[in-house]
Amino acid sequence: PQRGLCPRLPRQAPHSAEMADDADKPHFMLDPSQTFMVWNAVVSDTAKPFIIPIAGLIVGTIMMQIKSVADVGKLVLYFGAQSFMNIYMGWVMRTSVTLPAGYPLHGEYEGQKLEENLTGCPAGFALTALQQVVSFLVFMCFFAGAYFTPYRYTPKKLNSGFEVFCVVIFGCVFALNIALNNFSLGYISIAVNLIIRSCLPLTTFLSQQGLAVFGLYPFKPCNPKEIGLMCIGVICAGVFTMARILGSTEKGHSSSNMILGVFMCIASLLCGSLNLALAGVLGETKLNVYDTVAYMAIPATLFLLPIAMFVQKPVPGQWGKVFGQDTMSDWQILVHVWSVNKTTMVWLVLSGVFSFMYNIIQFSIVHTLSPSATAFGGNFNKAALIFLTLLLPFLRVHELPGPPYIQVIWGAVIINICAFSYYSYLQ
């Protein structure tokens, strides 16, 4: 008989077999407690760090179209571009998954499996050379595409051997600065990298005074207040870094690789200072971002290639365990990465495209704002990204250390930012 014609009977308690059958039937109910889990599933751990920078890029672009808030929009766009590039490079160099946990090991560890994810691609010099090549290729595509149009671009002509010399020097020092910074990101967190690089004013001042001793640069006046602020900022950066290293060591992480990363970041900082000081010694070459790529990419690549090919360095994390070598050159690292995960190589190539786009955004914004606004924007971007790294778990490589280190870290970063911000105000 049809179900609709059957008399309604009293509901009986289901038998255990029926309950088992019901358990196997699909249920289409959404538990509100699972909303956060759904969010995590939709927004992957890889995408989360880029939400804020991309939001900054979108909001800044929109604000720039409104005349009354156009200048503020430029600063917001500058923050989005700078934070995106910093986070992306930190992700590529240190946190992106190259090999997942459970990957079977070979050689000395035959029969064992990778206990943790193998992350990043610690090949800073090779990556920087690759970025220069990719940037040059992107520029050539732009140059060729615009050649027969009204937007045809002609690079600035170098009129003397001295200008060629300036370009080569600037190219090599600039490339070394970026390469050492990329190298450090394979060993230390973004927060440690940024707080060390916030010390640029003092190292630049010392570089200029050192060149002045040899008559290559005019002596800068020594303002006690400014020097005191710079020294306070540098001391706080050192305290922050030491607290981070000691806190990581207490949690069982190796400190030797972090110390190497810190030294490389300091070396990058010194190269950046030398680059600024050499600008005063060698003269202003008046090159824009397109000229810089056109003239400096090839010398910089040639300068970095021998270092990437032949210089051996200790590898972080489980790289030595996976590939059976405690030290490797950047070239060897790239060969190994290509053999196990070609997607990681795609991220490396994309970094060259993003680097070219970032330089264009930076050049366009910096040259349309006042020097004080640019300095404020740069300091604000560093401060904001350091705070975001400390506050947001998905921007961290490791968990923050417990007391007393975490209190020292917060105190040091706040005083550091206040000191250098006030210094920029005085400038």
- Considering only CA atoms, which of 300, 374, 364 is closest in space to residue 131? 300
Strands 313-314 and 118-119: unpaired
Q: Is 407 helix (H, G, I), strand (E, B) or coil?
A: helix
pLDDT for 284? 53
**Structure-block tokens of residue 13:** 């308690």
Q: Is 271 exposed, middle or buried (0-12, 13-18, 19+ CB in 10 A)?
A: buried
Given a cut of 70, whether residue 188 has pLDDT beyond it is yes
The DSSP secondary structure of 55-94, one letter per residue, reads HHHHHHHHHHTSGGGHHHHHHHHHHHHHHHHHHHHHIIII
Contact 211, 276 (CB under 8 A): no
Read off the pLDDT of residues 63-107 as tens digits, 9 standing for 90 and up. Answer: 989 988 888 888 888 888 888 988 898 888 888 889 988 888 877
Would you mind telling me the total number of residues written for the chain in this entry? 427
Q: Is 409 helix (H, G, I), strand (E, B) or coil?
A: helix
Candidate ranges 155-164, 204-213, 306-315, 386-395; pick with highest mean pLDDT: 306-315
Contact 327, 111 (CB under 8 A): no
pLDDT for 17? 47
Write out 95-156 in H/E/C secondary structure. Answer: HCEEECCCCECCHHHCCCECCCCEECCCCHHHHHHHHHHHHHHHHHHHHHHHCCCCCCCCCC
pLDDT for 277? 66
Residue owning tokens 């090159």:
287
**Structure-block tokens of residue 375:** 């300095």
Measured between alpha carbons, how far is 127 from 349 in angstroms, rounded to an integer? 8
Given a cut of 50, whether residue 412 has pLDDT beyond it is yes
Read off the pLDDT of residues 250-305 as tens digits, 9 standing for 90 and up. Answer: 766 666 778 888 999 999 988 887 776 666 555 555 667 677 777 888 888 999 99
pLDDT category, 2, cuts 50, 70, 90?
very low
pLDDT for 8? 46
Q: Is 328 helix (H, G, I), strand (E, B) or coil?
A: strand
Contact 170, 275 (CB under 8 A): yes
Mean pLDDT score of the chain, rounded to an integer?
A: 79
pLDDT for 43? 54
Angle between helix 190-197 and 405-426 (nearest 10): 40
What backbone phi and psi angles, to 5 degrees, belong to 222? -95, 100
Given a cut of 90, whether residue 154 has pLDDT beyond it is no
The amino acid occupying position 83 is: S
Measured between alpha carbons, how far is 384 from 400 in angstroms, rounded to an integer? 17
Taken in order 328, 332, 338, 343, is the CA torsion positive or negative? positive
Mean pLDDT of 210-221: 75
Report H helices in 186-223.
190-197, 200-213
pLDDT category, 411, cuts 50, 70, 90?
very high
Angle at 129 between CA 75 and CA 195, to 5 degrees: 45
Q: Is 360 helix (H, G, I), strand (E, B) or coil?
A: helix
Read off the pLDDT of residues 114-153 as tens digits, 9 standing for 90 and up. Answer: 888 888 888 999 999 999 899 889 888 888 888 888 888 8
Contact 421, 383 (CB under 8 A): yes
Q: Torsion angle of alpha carbons 56, 57, 60, 64, nearest 10°?
A: 180
pLDDT for 398? 64
pLDDT for 286? 63
Given a cut of 80, whether residue 345 has pLDDT beyond it is yes
pLDDT above 70: percentage of residues in the chain: 81
pLDDT for 270? 87
pLDDT for 252? 63
Measured between alpha carbons, how far is 282 from 165 in angstroms, rounded to an integer? 9
Measured between alpha carbons, how far is 336 from 330 in angstroms, rounded to an integer? 10
Report H helices in 251-288.
256-282
CA distances from 39 to 36, 49, 242 (A): 5, 14, 36
What letter does residue 4 receive in the DSSP assignment? G
Read off the pLDDT of residues 7-60 as tens digits, 9 standing for 90 and up. Answer: 444 445 455 444 444 445 444 444 444 444 444 444 566 777 888 889 889 999
Angle at 363 between CA 354 and CA 298, to 5 degrees: 60
Given a cut of 60, whether residue 318 has pLDDT beyond it is yes
pLDDT for 331? 93
Measured between alpha carbons, how far is 192 from 389 in angstroms, rounded to an integer? 10
pLDDT category, 376, cuts 50, 70, 90?
low
Q: Is 24 helix (H, G, I), strand (E, B) or coil?
A: helix
Measured between alpha carbons, how far is 313 from 336 in angstroms, rounded to an integer? 15
Given a cut of 90, whether residue 386 has pLDDT beyond it is no
Burial code (b: 16+ CB inside 10 Å, e: under 16) for 322-350 equals: bbebeebbbbbbbebbeeebeebeebbee
Mean pLDDT of 210-234: 82
